[in-house]
Amino acid sequence: MKKSSITLLSVILTLSGCTTVADMVGMDSKTLNAQAGSNYHQILSKAQIDTTSNTAKTIQRAFNRLRPHANSLNNTGMRFDWQMTVIKDPKENAWAMPGGKMAFYTGLAQNYHLTESEIAAIVGHEMAHALLEHSKKQMGAGVLSDLTVQLGAIAVQTRTGYDHDLINFGASMLHEYGFDKPYSRHHEYEADALGMQLMAMAGYNPADAINVWKKMNAKQDGGSKAGGILSTHPSNNSRIQAMEKLLPKNRAIYERAIRR
């Protein structure tokens, strides 16, 4: 392996984390937020937007109650231009882009017969992904892992003469099952925790975050059949157990909020 490659890897490995790596390769928060805003408008231009149904009004009401609390917990150093769009679509989906652009699909609310408080749990969860800059961290992690894999493959090939393509195949399997999956699950747990806090601060009962996953379990005949190990996200049962541990703290936040 060339000395320059070793030096580059050493520099990256001494950085403070995946966010720093993302900044280093031009994925800073300002750039990502601006790009997300552009992509958001492209998505909406092709979507059927719902502003009049009771479902849409309930989603917007929950979003508006959570938004000031999301701003109060924004530690990114960037002002978020929060926006919620309800998309009329049977898909069971909701998401938040870097910088606060969000979408909630009517199929998710309607297929699970979500209450306003349960909708708030999902909105809070997606807000948390944006506030914790999980997209940026995933990008930084991808850059770091790809570089490490490539440099490692070169080193093994140089020392052993093994085929470079074979090494890359094995590395890609490790990348797929040994790196990405736990990292994504960790982010989901983080977003569950902060999302519960956000909904509690807004005066929604945090126990309803658990109800969301119980409803999903009921629809999926007892939860994810693959379990928590090979699933990109934690299993529903794993998430329920983790949130139950957070419930006492968030119930206290909720009770203070409703007394105001």
The string of pLDDT tens digits covering residues 113-146 is 999 999 999 999 999 999 998 877 666 444 444 4
Asked which of 55-59, 101-105, 167-171 is least confident by mean pLDDT, the reply is 167-171
Task: Name the domain count of the chain.
Answer: 1
Q: Is residue 166 part of a domain?
A: no
Tell me the average pLDDT across 216-235: 59
Hey, what are 156's tokens? 């093994």
The string of pLDDT tens digits covering residues 39-51 is 889 999 999 999 9
Q: Is residue 1 part of a domain?
A: no
The string of pLDDT tens digits covering residues 144-166 is 444 444 444 444 455 555 444 54
Q: What pTM was estimated for this model as a whole?
A: 0.72
Q: Is residue 79 part of a domain?
A: yes
Q: Is residue 140 part of a domain?
A: no
Radius of gyration of the chain (CA): 21
Q: Is residue 66 part of a domain?
A: yes
Q: Is residue 33 part of a domain?
A: yes
Tell me the average pLDDT across 228-252: 81
83-87 and 101-105 strand pairing:
parallel
pLDDT of residue 28: 66
Per the model's pLDDT, the better-predicted residue between 229 and 87 turns out to be 87
Report in angstroms the alpha-carbon separations of 183 from 17, 137, 151, 188, 189.
Answer: 13, 10, 21, 9, 10
Asked which of 79-88, 189-198, 218-227, 231-240 is least confident by mean pLDDT, the reply is 218-227
Tell me the average pLDDT across 184-190: 87
Q: Is residue 207 part of a domain?
A: yes
Q: Is residue 9 part of a domain?
A: no
Range of the domain at 217: 24-135+181-259
| pLDDT bucket at 2, cuts 50 / 70 / 90 | very low
* Residue 260 CA from chain centroid, whole number: 31
pLDDT of 85 over the 70 cut: yes
The 3-state secondary structure of the chain reads CCHHHHHHHHHHHCCCCHHHHHHHCCCCHHHHHHHHHHHHHHHHHCCCECCCCHHHHHHHHHHHHHHHHHHHCCCCCCCCCCEEEEECCCCCCEEECCCCEEEEEHHHHHHCCCCHHHHHHHHHHHHHHHHCCHHHHHHHHHHHHHHHHHHHHHHHHHHHCCCHHHHHHHHHHHHHHHHHHHHHHHHHHHHHHHHHHHHHHCCCCCHHHHHHHHHHHHHCCCCCCCCCCCCCCCCHHHHHHHHHHHHHHHHHHHHHHHHC
